[in-house]
């Protein structure tokens, strides 16, 4: 039976042994669709995160998707175009159950204003990354990535520890909300600014923020005390980052680390300009888009100017993937890209080996299933410091949202081995139900984004989008259960293309076949992508693991 959801009472958390569909593959995907709404920011409007990232185009489309999933046979494939089901076709039992293409606009037309017009006409929706692919697991989905960034900075700049260090950031939405907990887990004193008091309260209630300060003076005093005591803490502050960052700089305070995860990617539905209330912004979204975009960009100029000033004074400053540098450069800051992107600065050696954010969800709804897999991960990968450290930290610090889930940075071969071992546990009845495996779209072979994932590639191949397209075709050929190609919407329009995948481990030999082929080929392509760009780590991985790379 579904479980009550105190955050969104009308969107219960799925679970239980009863099937509404004809098999666990279909039921699993249906539960993942239900889950992204149960943990979403605005489920009444089908918005999962990032202001516009939707699970389906509209409620009629959602109802049609549910009807198709509950009634389809295993030898059929459901086609979804920008959040709307358009076909249920006879294929075969080894074909994907769901194939999606969301928000892919022809290059010369892939602009924010075109997207907004198509959205207004009801012809398109943006799936975000994991939102429209039904793979989002709440803030936990990005907590480990944020934590790993902070720890790489600790190794690079601060002798391996962030104890006694001050992190300044902003944004407490579906993605940014991971930052306070990740910063505290990394041992730092982190101050998180957000314009929306409801978001701050939500993160406080979930335990991500330890406290919410009433004003900037109090917030800085609390941070200063924690820094002196070398005590990890997370403090929230309701305010506009475009005002708070410059004020902190004016006072001569230099944080050790500065970043931002506001919705700067979207100047209409995301970012809130300084001097405007949330209600004023909402009132301009239909008839005042031009005014709102101009005001947002002007605020971002001040926001990023302060970040550059912090960098000049010695802070470690990085872009966390929200296009804020791009908006600032378009607003007139020529050197906005002096701020590095987190992928190139800290994580590229991992991605070159196809080590990235792998995730699994307990379709039973039972936390005990995740606990058993936690034990399995520790048993299988005792020498993997990143994974063993993370599993122990996650168990102690991270509350489940929606379906119990876990994420861990695993690479080529590791993902396949874990999934096959879990499938055996399902078959043996050691788990209460099947497990869904997925990953972030920000993965080695799965994303082309020249301002995030593929910025400053060694061979200059930043903007080539062939790789996520190849990934989607390869995953379809490798029998994955769900395969999706997403491109950017709103302010991300024209900036990225990504591929997502989901597989259901239901304990059957057929599931084992799907898991082995799809997960192995997915990470193999990731290694090949970076080898093709000339990264030595990838060639080492190819040699060590016998990946079928074709040198030219």
Q: What is the pLDDT of residues 126-165, one digit of tens each?
A: 999 999 999 999 888 889 899 999 999 999 999 999 999 9
DSSP state of 3: B
262 marked as part of a ligand binding site: yes
Helices (H) and strands (E) in the chain, counts: 19, 17
Q: Which residue has the tokens 């009132």?
A: 283
Q: What is the pLDDT of residues 376-432, one digit of tens each?
A: 999 999 999 999 999 999 999 998 999 999 999 999 999 999 999 999 999 999 999
**pLDDT value of residue 50:** 81
CA dist 138 → 221, 386, 402, 500 (Å): 31, 21, 8, 17
Q: What is the pLDDT of residues 445-474, one digit of tens each?
A: 999 999 999 999 999 999 999 999 999 999
Can you name the residues that pair with 406 across neighbouring β-strands? 360
Q: What is the pLDDT of residues 229-248, one digit of tens each?
A: 999 999 999 999 999 999 99
**Buried/exposed 370-380: b ≥16 CB within 10 Å, e otherwise:** bebbbebbeee
In the structure, what pLDDT confidence band is assigned to residue 491 with cuts at 50, 70 and 90?
A: confident
375 marked as part of a ligand binding site: no
The residue-averaged pLDDT of 166-172 equals 97
Residue 174 has pLDDT above 90, yes or no: no
**pLDDT value of residue 215:** 98
362 marked as part of a ligand binding site: no
In the structure, what pLDDT confidence band is assigned to residue 175 with cuts at 50, 70 and 90?
A: confident
At 475, which helix (H) or strand (E)?
Answer: helix 466-477
**Buried/exposed 479-499: b ≥16 CB within 10 Å, e otherwise:** bbbbbbbbbbbbbbbbbbbbb
Cβ partners under 8 Å of residue 222, min gap 6 = 211, 213, 233, 235
Interior CA angle at 320 toward 317 and 326, to 5°? 90
Count Cβ atoms within 10 A of the Cβ of residue 280 and give its class: 0-12 exposed, 13-18 middle, 19 or more buried.
middle
Percent helix, strand and coil across the chain, each to the nearest 5: 45, 15, 40
194 marked as part of a ligand binding site: yes
pTM: 0.92
Return the closest-CA partner of residue 442 out of 504, 518, 388, 496. 496
Which superfamily, per CATH, for 140-340? Urocanase like domains (3.40.50.10730)
**pLDDT value of residue 1:** 78
Say what the alpha-carbon torsion angle 399, 401, 406, 412 is, to the nearest 10 degrees. -140
314 marked as part of a ligand binding site: no
81 marked as part of a ligand binding site: no
28 marked as part of a ligand binding site: no
Say what the alpha-carbon torsion angle 106, 107, 110, 114 is, to the nearest 10 degrees. -60
**pLDDT value of residue 47:** 96
* Alpha helix (H) residue ranges in 232-320: 241-250, 278-284, 289-312
At 328, which helix (H) or strand (E)?
Answer: helix 324-330
Residue-wise DSSP of 374-391: HHHHHHH-TT-HHHHHHH
Q: Quote the mean pLDDT of the chain.
A: 96
| Domain positions in the chain | 24-120, 140-340
Residue length of the chain: 552
356 marked as part of a ligand binding site: no
Q: What is the pLDDT of residues 345-387, one digit of tens each?
A: 999 999 999 999 999 999 999 999 999 999 999 999 999 999 9
**Buried/exposed 328-346: b ≥16 CB within 10 Å, e otherwise:** bbebebeebbebbbbbbbb
296 marked as part of a ligand binding site: no
395 marked as part of a ligand binding site: no
176 marked as part of a ligand binding site: yes
Kindly give the interhelix angle for 367-380 and 414-427, rounded to the nearest 10 degrees.
Answer: 130
**pLDDT value of residue 142:** 86
Q: Which residue has the tokens 């929706």?
A: 125
β-pairing, 356-362 vs 435-439, is: antiparallel
261 marked as part of a ligand binding site: yes
334 marked as part of a ligand binding site: no
């Amino acid at each position: 039976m579904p479980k009550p959801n105190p955050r969104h009472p009308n969107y219960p958390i799925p679970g239980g042994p009863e099937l509404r569909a004809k098999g666990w593959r279909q039921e699993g995907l249906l539960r993942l669709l239900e889950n992204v709404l149960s943990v979403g920011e605005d489920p009444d409007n089908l918005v999962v995160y990032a202001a516009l990232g939707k699970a389906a185009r509209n409620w009629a489309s959602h109802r049609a998707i549910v009807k198709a999933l509950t009634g389809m046979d295993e030898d059929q494939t459901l086609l979804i175009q920008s959040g709307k089901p358009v076909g249920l076709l006879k294929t075969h039992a080894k074909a994907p159950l769901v194939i999606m293409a969301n928000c892919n606009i022809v290059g010369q037309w892939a602009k924010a204003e075109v997207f907004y017009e198509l959205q207004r006409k009801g012809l398109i929706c943006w799936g975000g990354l994991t939102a429209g692919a039904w793979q989002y697991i709440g803030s936990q989905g990005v907590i480990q990535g944020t934590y790993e960034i902070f720890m790489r900075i600790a190794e690079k700049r601060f002798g391996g520890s962030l104890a006694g260090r001050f992190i300044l950031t902003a944004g407490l939405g579906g993605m940014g909300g991971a930052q306070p907990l990740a910063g505290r887990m990394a041992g730092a004193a982190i101050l998180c600014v957000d314009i929306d008091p409801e978001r701050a309260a939500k993160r406080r209630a979930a335990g991500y923020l330890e406290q919410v300060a009433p004003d900037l003076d109090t917030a800085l005093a609390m941070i200063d005390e924690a820094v002196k005591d070398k005590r990890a803490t997370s403090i929230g502050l309701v305010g506009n980052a475009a005002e708070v960052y410059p004020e902190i700089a004016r006072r001569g305070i230099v944080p050790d680390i500065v970043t931002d995860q506001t919705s700067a990617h979207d100047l209409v539905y995301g970012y809130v300009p300084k001097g405007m209330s949330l209600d004023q912004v909402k009132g301009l979204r239909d008839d005042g888009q031009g005014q709102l975009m101009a005001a947002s960009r002007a605020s971002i100029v001040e926001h990023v100017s302060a970040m550059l000033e912090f960098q000049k004074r010695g802070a470690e400053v990085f872009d966390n993937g929200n296009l804020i540098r791009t908006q600032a450069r378009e607003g007139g800051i020529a050197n906005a890209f002096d701020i590095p992107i987190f992928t190139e600065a800290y994580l590229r050696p991992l991605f070159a080996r196809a080590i990235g954010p792998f995730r699994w969800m307990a379709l039973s709804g039972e936390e005990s299933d995740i606990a058993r897999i936690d034990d399995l991960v520790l048993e299988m990968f005792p020498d993997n410091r990143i994974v063993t450290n993370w599993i122990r930290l996650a168990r102690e610090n991270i509350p489940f949202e929606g379906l119990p889930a876990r994420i861990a940075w695993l690479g080529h071969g590791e993902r396949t081995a874990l999934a096959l071992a879990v499938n055996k546990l399902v078959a043996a009845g050691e788990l209460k139900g099947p497990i869904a495996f997925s990953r972030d779209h920000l993965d080695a072979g799965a994303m082309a984004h020249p301002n995030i994932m593929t910025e400053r590639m060694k061979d200059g191949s930043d903007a080539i989008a062939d790789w996520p397209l190849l990934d989607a075709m390869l995953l379809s050929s490798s029998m994955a259960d769900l395969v999706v190609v997403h491109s950017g919407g709103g302010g991300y329009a024209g900036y990225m293309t990504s591929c997502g995948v989901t597989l259901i481990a239901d304990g059957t030999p057929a599931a084992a076949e799907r898991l082995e082929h799809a997960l192995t080929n997915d990470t193999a392509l990731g290694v090949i992508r970076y080898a093709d760009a000339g990264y030595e780590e990838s060639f080492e991985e190819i040699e060590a693991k016998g990946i079928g790379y074709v040198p030219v």
